[in-house]
Structure 1
Amino acid sequence: MRLLIYVLFCFVTVGIFAQEKEYVTSSKTLKLMGTRFDITVVASNHDIGQINIDEATAEIRRIEALISSWVPDSETSMINRNAGIRPVKVSEEVFQLIDRAKQISELTDGAFDISIASIDKLWKFDGSMKNKPTKEELKKSIGKVGYRKIILNADDQTVFLSEKGMKISLGAIGKGYAADKAKELLVSKQVVGGIINAAGDLTTWGAKPDGDKWLIGIANPLSKDKIFSWLPVVESSVATSGNYEQYAIIDDVKYSHIIDPRTGIPANGVSSVSVFSKRAEDCDALATAVFIMGKEAGLSLIDQLPGTDVILVDSDNKVHKSSGIILESQP
Structure 2
Amino acid sequence: MKRVYFIFALLLIVTFSQAQVIVNKELSLMGTDFTITVVAPTSEIGQLYISDAVTEIRRIEALISSWQETSETTFINNNAGIQPVKVSVELFNLIKRSIAISKLTDGAFDISYASMDRIWKFDGSMKQMPRDEVIKISVANVGYNGIELNEIDQTVFLKREGMKIGFGAIGKGYAADAAKALLIQKGVAAGIINASGDMNTWGTQPNGSPWRVAITNPLDNNKAFALLPITDAVVTSGNYEKFVMFNDIRYAHIIDPRTGYPSQGILSVTVFAPKAELADALATSVFVMGIEPGIDRMNQFPGVECIAISTDGAIFTTKNITLDLKK
Shift of 1:210: 1.2
Residues in 2 aligned to 1:54 and 1:31: alpha-carbon distance in whole angstroms: 13
The partner residue of 1:152 within 124, 149, 155 is: 149
2: CA distance, partners of 1:155 / 1:240? 37
Q: CA RMSD in A?
A: 1.4
Which amino acid in 2 is paired with 1:95? Answer: F
Q: Distance in 2 between matches of 1:330 and 1:264?
A: 37
- Structure 1 contact 216–231 (Cα < 8 Å) conserved: yes
Equivalent residue, structure 2, for 1:14: none
Greater RCO (Cα-Cα under 8 Å, separation 6 or more): 1
Match of 2:100 among 82, 98, 103: 103
Q: Does 1:262 align with 2:251?
A: no
| 2:138 partner SS | helix
1:272 to 268, 271, 285: 268
Confirm whether residue 199 of structure 1 aligns to residue 180 of structure 2: no
- In the other structure, the counterpart of 1:317 is 313
Question: More displaced, 19-28 or 141-150?
Answer: 19-28
How many Å separate the matches in 1 of 2:246 and 2:201? Answer: 40
Any unmatched runs of 5+ in structure 1? 1-17
> What is the aligned partner in structure 1 of residue 277 from structure 2?
281
Q: Residue 67 of structure 2 aligns with which residue?
A: 70
What SS does the aligned partner of 2:204 have? coil
Matches within 5 A, 1:22-37: 22-37=19-34
2:235 counterpart of 1:242: no
Report the alpha carbon displacement of residue 329 of structure 1 after superposing the two structures with TM: 2.5
User: 1:133 Cα deviation (Å)?
Assistant: 1.0
- Map 1:46-125 → 2, pairs under 5 A: 46-125=43-122
> C-alpha distance in 1, partners of 2:241/2:70?
32
What's the offset of the Cα at 1:24?
Answer: 0.3
Which residue, 218, 225, 247 being the options, matches 1:228? 225
Task: Look up the SS of the partner of 2:66 in the other structure.
Answer: coil
Q: Give me the whole-angstrom Cα distance separating, in 1, the residues matched to 2:16 and 2:275.
A: 26
Distance 1:330 1:289 in 2: 27
Question: Highest CA radius of gyration, 1 or 2?
Answer: 2
> Following superposition, which runs of at least 4 residues in structure 1 exceed 3 angstroms of deviation?
none
What do the CA deviations read for 1:78-129 (whole angstroms, capped 9, x no partner)?
0000011100000000000000000000000000011111111110000111
* Structure 1 SS opposite 2:140: helix
Cα shift at 1:139 = 1.2
User: CA contact under 8 A between 1:179 and 1:280: conserved in structure 2?
Assistant: yes
TM-score (norm 1): 0.93
Residue type matched to 2:78 in 1?
R
1:228-254 Cα shifts (integer Å, max 9, x gaps): 0100002x1011111011111223322
1:177 corresponds to which residue?
A: 174
Query: Which amino acid in structure 2 is aligned with residue 189 of structure 1?
Result: K
Of residues 282, 298, 303, the one that matches 2:294 is: 298
Report Cα offsets for 1:163-213 as digits up to 9, x if no partner. 111111011111100000100000011101000001111010011111111
Q: Residue 134 in 1 paired to residue 131 in 2?
A: yes
The answer on 1:164 being equivalent to 2:161 is: yes
Number of the residue aligned with 2:11: none
- Give 3-state SS (helix, strand or coil) of 2:47's partner: helix
SS at match of 1:22: coil
Number of residue-to-residue matches in the alignment: 313
3-state SS of 1:171 partner: coil
